[in-house]
Amino acid sequence: MRARGASGALASAWSAILLLTTLLWSASTVHAENGPIIVASEFQNPPNNLNYFKDSNVVIFQEAYGRIIWRSTDGGASWSKADGIEHDKAAALVMHEYDPKRAYVLSSGNVHWKTHDRGETWQTFFTDAYTSDFTDTTGRWMTFHADDPNKILFTGMECDGLFCEELVMYTENGFEDDAKFLRGRTQGCWWAKSSLLFTTGQDDLDKQRILCIVRGGIFSPQEDNRLLISDNYFSATEADGIVQEFEPNLNGDGPVQGVISIVEVKKYLLVASTSRNTAEMALFVTGDTLTWHRAIFPHDHPLLEASYTVLESTNYSIQIDVKTGRRMSKPMGTLLTSNSNGTYFTRNAEHTNRNLESYVDFEKVSGIQGIFLVNQVDNWEEVEEDEKEKKIKTKITFNDGRTFESVKTGDEEIHLHSVTELNNVGPVFSSPAPGLVMGNGNHGKYLKDYWDSHLYVSDDAGRTWIEGPKGPHKYEFGDKGSILLAVRDSEEADVKEIRYSLDHGKNWEKAKLPEDLSISPWTLTTTRDSSSLKFLLTARKGSRGSPTGYYVVSIDFEGLHETTCKEGDMEDWFARVDDGGKPSCVMGHTQKFHRRKKDAECFIKEEFKDLAPEMTSCDCTDADFECDFNFIRDGDDCKPAAPVKAPEGACTADDPGVTFMGPSGWRLIPGNDCKRTGGDQKDKQKEWKCSDSKNQPSAPGSNEIEHTQWPFEGDFDRFDKHYLERGESSTEDDETIIARPYKPSTHAAGDVFITHNHGKNWTKAKLPGDEGIYAIVTHPYVKDMAFFLTKGDKVFYTVDRGRHFDYFKPRDPPDTSSERLPLSFHPDRKDWLIWHGKKCHGNDCYLEASLSTDRGDSWETIKRYVKKCEFTGSSAYKFRNTTQVVCLAKAREDNEDHNPLQLLYSDDFPRYKLSVALENVKDFATMAEFIVVATENKTEKTLNALASVNGREYAPAHFPYNFEVPHTNAYVVLDSSTRAVNLFVVTEEERNWRYGSILKSNSNGTSYVLSIAGVNCDDGYFVDFEKMLGLEGVVLVNTVENRDGDSEPKRLRSRISHNDGAAWGFLPPPKQDLDSNPFSCYSETGDESCALHIHGYTERVDHRKTYSSESAIGIMFGVGNVGPILGDLKDADTFMTTDAGLSWKMVKKGSWTWSFGDQGSIVVLAQRNTRTKSVSYSLDRGDTWKDYTFSDTDVVITDITTLRSGSSRNFILWGHRGDKLYTVNLDFSGLASEPCKDDEDRDKSDYELWSPEHPLQPNHCLFGHKNYYLRKKKDRTCYNGHKLTHLYSVENCECTRQDFECDYNFEMHNHGQCKLVEGLEPLDPERICKENPDEFEYYEPSGFRRIPLTTCKGGFEPDKALTPHPCPGHEEEFERAHSVSGVAIFFAVVLPVGFASLAGWWVYRNWQSKFGQIRLGERNNLDSESPWVKYPVMAVSAAVAVIGALPLVAGSLWRSVSSAFDRVRSRGDGGGRYGWLRGSSQRRFTTRDSFARGRGDYAIVDEDEGELLGDDSDEEV
């Protein structure tokens, strides 16, 4: 097997202390008579990433732990350290993919080494960015251009404290100069020309087109990723500074978000994307990066995330294996093959064998078209139903997968171990040696254990096989098949010889290792083209599990002294023959190779020369044709998948009966070489009607709303309902809801019902058992999945939105008395579950947390006596492991008193056991990137808050100086924007009178400032806040205004913030009500005496209902009143805003509930708990309203819902008709028949651009930028045919006062300045250097800090107003940044002074009577040429001019320093959860989700107290 040129992995230990390991070897050599020369070299550490430089005997590798780079020039017989490398800093060895003489050694920093002469000499090169240590970047640090070896992309990272992001650098000259910045915030970049076969079809694009996956933000999920393309290295081409980059039209309707990977396969480029709510993915294919198509898969084989594998493909098709088995622990798949443009996939083989790492038992025979081997699971039904072990058979195809046959030796079947059990490097079965195939396997019905296998050999590409040496072996091919080498595999160091055959495996010879060496083999390899007589064996001393040393063994068959083959020793061999021995055809030709005869006593000795087969064309047959583009296979026919394109000039008349000649539906497979014979061919044009060339017209809209009623039987009065919403990447069009009627008073519940058409009809769910359901849980991250918890030993579930159901058995039953649900879910890995089971020994009961990575097929105990465990890792957070688990558990495994809770974590369970992070913990909660923990002070009976972003180290929260709560015993973690924690601290504990303050943190969650005080909460610690979904920073709260009152009821007022809680205002009231009557008061912007007040979260019946929707940008509803305070709910009316809360209007009298459809284009209102026959709806964002009657008799509506995304035009009413539960589907689809169209010309487009305004910002910038959103125009009668990317564009702004807030221990004074609190000290400014190791300077504290979300650049930056100082160890960098170049001095000083001198001279020449006025006939008595006049005037004039130029000088110097600083610093980039942390032991800790029984996207608001953040914060400082 050949060693690959792929990059090796980073050394496993990136330790602070690097131990330099040294070579401990002495070359042991054996010269056997007429045998190979064997040399063994001993090393202390494993030889990792061993590579041949192509077309040479130069070999290089890196010790796995010692980091030393070793090089050999004689095929491994002797070794020396690579010269010119700092070995203790070497982190990874990377071979150039296309230049056989180049390699690179990367450090973990920004200084690396390169060679252009196969490692003979090494030079340093610089990348500016440090090498990325992200797990998903390992092995892909460098991407090479296939045509130009000097063009290389380098993946590095940049860090801001704990937060690191990937970036990409590039070079066009092989790093002769320092690498240049390409783009930031990436998830991988690729040259379009990353493979030799792929081309864009345009030379200029081939040269420098680059594709990058770009993340939405540092904490953004994968669903926000975008694919961007640039043809000039993402540089600005125009003076406006706009970077040249664009999103390709992937799906025909425009760009696609959620791109997670790019793969180049032969001449294809594949892009995979995912979307929210679903595990189903979309795969887009292109052959040129210009035209893209979505790949179409069989409907029963959808493409699921982490469930498909792109296999080694051909030049004319793509092969993918899709996981299809139900049993996650015993995966199986289906092999699919595409047509020649990669768009339509059909089945090749079912029940393929896969493993848990998504490797598939599939491999092509090297160099021969049409032949590949697969392993299939023969007893797949038993595996699915009864969880039996797999019984595996090996099959082979000789015709590209059209038919398969058994692999045999004589009449007996043999079965071979394949890719899922890799025991060597490189391909498993074959090599470029023509027709030679080897494999470990066994006779019999099925494949046995690897250690029971023997070696088998075929010299006719797998048609016939013979048995070789007994036992499993490492094997390899040399001299183009003349030599077969095998080394017995063993787990112990008991191998003392090698075996080799010179006659295609018919006879085998032995050769002993030198000095009775006894080893356990690791890998066996040779040159990639298998043309060499030299081989390399790596091995261990001692057992495989406990090695005591390592060897690299060189095996050279020059020692056999064979002659060089002559023509008579060679034969012609056809790669494929039929049963009669006649050569068979694939892709229109036969393949013939010229190879050595098996019994010839010679070696070919043509090192590094590739074998080229001779092709002979065959007559065309049906197998040489495929369905043409836009045609789909249907049995033996190809039928149109789209209108047939008519030739230009045809079908100009309006007669659909006119015909034209067009494609037959078939085409010759591109690249097929078959010879066309006489007669008609399958691709001959045929006659079509003009009606076939046009899209069928859309069915005209009925202009009617339709409704469907559905009654439910039984004595129930409520619904437990759950939407299973498909994602954008799903190929289905269902709108699925699961519902179960129940009666709270009796705890009775009915059957589980399911609808796939939004309630038009319902059916009972076919659950695989009759155990009673006590709770339904939808997967919070993958809405395809729902789990049905029973009180027994089963958990039912669906992974395909209720089409099929299955079950797993947890170890222990759930604790049904607890409000906390027993399941925890991983954000990225949909099948990873944590189960909290109740285990009892007599009366001693406790919770045990168990982990399953295969959706409940198997479990591993995490911890006993736990309170809870959660997945805290996520692909969105690069600063902690994606597999991290955090648990809250008792310090001892007992239920005795004085057994405090501990916070524990594991970065990769079960590989790493749990470690204790904190003691005396009350509880923890996660919010975005933060983990917030409450620890108990047992003595003072209070809580302390701590925060962490990596889950390992926790820092205490520093509250504002004047924020004192004598006995802090309740915290609520409020969700807000990323980079800051919003923490609600209860400051008043009296029942029915509770309220608290919202504090906002810095970017690491430790230093807090007061946002707003007196925020209302109820006795359950739910807080009155609401975030406007889809927009940044717009939040509402209700505050208690009579906090000094004694027994009077709370007086609440609503407040709104447009900058994430940095400044607050009132809700401006409308001028008049529905009847055009003025309200009792009015204020243009709202004030204490008159404003709009909205009833908040604490009064909400259903906590899952929100004021707004992410799809209805800028729209919000509320129920409330106009006046000085919030009134009674029964007297409230319904109000609406369409401009993010800047203005409001009354839309209905009384209290109505609402729902948003068609991404905000349809709004439906219904009166709740009131007898009615109709609903009210608006199609123009509330300007006009119409009523629709859906019932002849009165019903009571309890709720109205639609898809959470707001993308549906269907709604469902939930309610009662009499004493029976009842649903009504409302279908608004008939009101529009044509999809909306966007156009760059906004007048033509059905969409408009809207940007929210900030009431306190004259430039309307928020967080340093201005967002533009896409909204449908009010007057358009179309529907949104696909999900809108609402955020259309972003403009960065200059910094202003509103981008800053007061730093810790500073408070706002009346004039908007932040002043240090008397008697307190600012935080140590040098902490910036400690928290940000890459930072080279810090500023003296000015009292200001940037709001964590702001992206502003330049302008007013008060945090940098005072003196800068260098960070320790960065003095030189600091000096470089603040030094001024000679050019800068020239422009800043010399030129202004020169201009000043000229100005002085000009003043001197013109001073006398030349300024201000003109007088005729006057004469001046002073002599301007007198030295007493001339020089003083020049001096004064020059001084005046210089003084006038000083501002220019200062400005020029400042710009020079700033630009130098910016060059160093700048690096451009091109659902809420609640947790209550409380002190007293009897109080429970919960999350908003557990109350809502869903993943509430309820976000949180930060509020601002005037005296702290300033009512005058808009004033100039």
- Report the pLDDT averaged over residues 565-593: 88
CB contact set of 568 (below 8 Å; sequence gap of 6+): none
Cα distance between residue 791 and residue 816, in whole Å: 7
Cα distance between residue 855 and residue 356, in whole Å: 12
pLDDT tens digits, 964-1009: 666 666 788 887 665 778 889 998 888 889 999 998 887 777 778 8
Q: Which two tokens stand for residue 1326?
A: 């040098």
Cα distance between residue 1361 and residue 1354, in whole Å: 12
**CB half-sphere exposure, 654, CA atoms < 13 A:** 0
Of 526-540, 1364-1378, 1461-1475, the range with the lowest mean pLDDT is 1461-1475
Closest Cα to residue 1323, out of 1301, 1340, 1300?
Answer: 1340
CB 834 within 8 A of CB 849: yes
pLDDT at 967: 61
pLDDT at 1395: 54
- Whether 340 has a pLDDT exceeding 80, the answer reads yes
Amino acid at 1499: A
- Report the pLDDT averaged over residues 538-562: 89
pLDDT at 1053: 97
pLDDT tens digits, 1134-1153: 999 999 999 999 999 999 99
State the Rg of the chain over Cα. 37
pLDDT at 699: 54
The percent of the chain in helix, strand and coil, each rounded to the nearest 5, is 10, 40, 50
Concatenated DSSP letters of 1231-1243: G--SB----SSTT
Concatenated DSSP letters of 1314-1330: EEEPTT--PPPTTHHHH
Measured CA distances, 994 to 989, 1239, 1499 (Å): 5, 53, 21
pLDDT at 602: 94
SS3 state of residue 1437: helix
Cα distance between residue 143 and residue 154, in whole Å: 7
Is residue 650 exposed (0-12), middle (13-18) or buried (19+ Cβ within 10 Å)? middle
E strands along 313-472, which residues?
319-323, 332-338, 345-353, 362-364, 372-377, 392-397, 405-406, 408-409, 412-416, 437-443, 454-458, 466-467
CB contact set of 1024 (below 8 Å; sequence gap of 6+): 1015, 1016, 1017, 1037, 1038, 1052, 1096, 1097, 1098
pLDDT tens digits, 1230-1258: 999 889 998 888 899 999 999 888 777 77
Cα distance between residue 571 and residue 491, in whole Å: 40
Peptide bond into 1124 cis (omega under 30): no
**Bridging pattern class, strands 563-564 and 602-603:** parallel
Is residue 1233 exposed (0-12), middle (13-18) or buried (19+ Cβ within 10 Å)? middle
Report which DSSP code applies to 294: E
Cα distance between residue 448 and residue 165, in whole Å: 47
How much of the chain, in percent, has pLDDT values that exceed 90? 51
- Whether 1162 has a pLDDT exceeding 80, the answer reads yes
CB 1 within 8 A of CB 424: yes
C-alpha triplet 98, 104, 108: angle, nearest 5°: 135
Confidence of residue 608 (pLDDT cuts 50, 70, 90): low
Report which DSSP code applies to 1108: B
Report which DSSP code applies to 1509: I
Of 127-131, 977-981, 1182-1186, the range with the lowest mean pLDDT is 977-981
Closest Cα to residue 322, out of 311, 261, 856?
Answer: 311
* Strands laid side by side in the 589-596 sheet: 570-574, 589-596, 614-617
pLDDT at 1371: 76
Return phi, psi of residue 125, to 5°. Answer: -145, 160
Q: Which two tokens stand for residue 1120?
A: 């409330």
Confidence of residue 962 (pLDDT cuts 50, 70, 90): low
- Whether 682 has a pLDDT exceeding 80, the answer reads yes
- Report the pLDDT averaged over residues 278-296: 90
- Whether 1479 has a pLDDT exceeding 70, the answer reads no
pLDDT at 27: 63
E strands along 1364-1407, which residues?
1364-1366
Query: Position of tokens 């925060």?
Result: 947
- Report the pLDDT averaged over residues 1120-1144: 95
Confidence of residue 1341 (pLDDT cuts 50, 70, 90): confident
Q: Which residues pair with 1056 in a beta bridge?
A: 1036, 1065
**Bridging pattern class, strands 1162-1167 and 332-338:** unpaired
pLDDT at 732: 81
CB contact set of 748 (below 8 Å; sequence gap of 6+): 715, 716, 742
Measured CA distances, 448 to 393, 415, 442 (Å): 10, 8, 7
Query: Whole-number mean pLDDT of the chain?
Result: 83
pLDDT tens digits, 368-410: 888 999 999 999 999 988 778 999 999 999 888 888 999 999 9
H or E element that contains 305: none
pLDDT at 1482: 28
pLDDT tens digits, 1010-1020: 889 999 999 98
Q: Which two tokens stand for residue 642?
A: 């789209």
CB 880 within 8 A of CB 862: no
pLDDT at 712: 95
H or E element that contains 1460: helix 1427-1465
Cα distance between residue 1293 and residue 1291, in whole Å: 6
pLDDT tens digits, 1342-1397: 888 887 778 888 888 888 888 888 888 777 777 776 765 454 555 545 555 555 55
Cα distance between residue 1435 and residue 1043, in whole Å: 70
Cα distance between residue 1285 and residue 1269, in whole Å: 8
pLDDT at 1438: 47
Concatenated DSSP letters of 738-769: EEEEEETTTTEE---EEESBTTSS-EE---SS
pLDDT at 186: 93
pLDDT tens digits, 477-496: 999 999 999 999 999 999 99
Q: Which two tokens stand for residue 1199?
A: 């709720």
Cα distance between residue 225 and residue 275, in whole Å: 10
Confidence of residue 35 (pLDDT cuts 50, 70, 90): confident
Cα distance between residue 41 and residue 229, in whole Å: 49
- Whether 1167 has a pLDDT exceeding 70, the answer reads yes
More confident position, 758 or 28: 758
Query: Position of tokens 């009915």?
Result: 750
- Whether 1226 has a pLDDT exceeding 50, the answer reads yes
Q: Which two tokens stand for residue 941?
A: 């009976």
Measured CA distances, 899 to 369, 903, 918, 949, 1478 (Å): 68, 13, 14, 27, 18
- Whether 1421 has a pLDDT exceeding 80, the answer reads no
Number of H helices, E strands in the chain: 8, 105
- Report the pLDDT averaged over residues 595-607: 92
Cα distance between residue 1195 and residue 1220, in whole Å: 10
SS3 state of residue 440: strand
Q: Is the dihedral of CA 622, 626, 628, 634 positive or negative?
A: positive
Is residue 634 exposed (0-12), middle (13-18) or buried (19+ Cβ within 10 Å)? exposed
More confident position, 42 or 641: 42
Cα distance between residue 1162 and residue 1156, in whole Å: 6
End-to-end CA distance of the chain: 71
Closest Cα to residue 617, out of 569, 664, 578, 585?
Answer: 585
pLDDT tens digits, 92-102: 999 999 999 99
pLDDT at 1400: 52
**Bridging pattern class, strands 268-273 and 259-265:** antiparallel
